[in-house]
Amino acid sequence: MADEEFFGSEVTHDLEGFKRRADVIVANRWSDELSDVGEKVYTRDLFRRD
């Protein structure tokens, strides 16, 4: 079973639940899985290609 915490932060495997609960999502890279909550996503991947 996977750990429930990582350096004091909650670990979740439920992406849909995470997207509902999150006010802001900080992502290193853009993923199409985030397109339905794009207004919440902040990423350095401005051109969605790297």
pLDDT at 49: 72
Read off the pTM. 0.77
SS3 21: helix
- pLDDT, one tens digit per residue, over 26-44 is 999 999 999 999 999 999 8
Q: Which residues contact 13 (CB under 8 A, 6 or more apart)?
A: 2
pLDDT at 29: 92
Average pLDDT (44-48) is 81
- pLDDT, one tens digit per residue, over 7-32 is 999 999 999 999 999 999 999 999 99
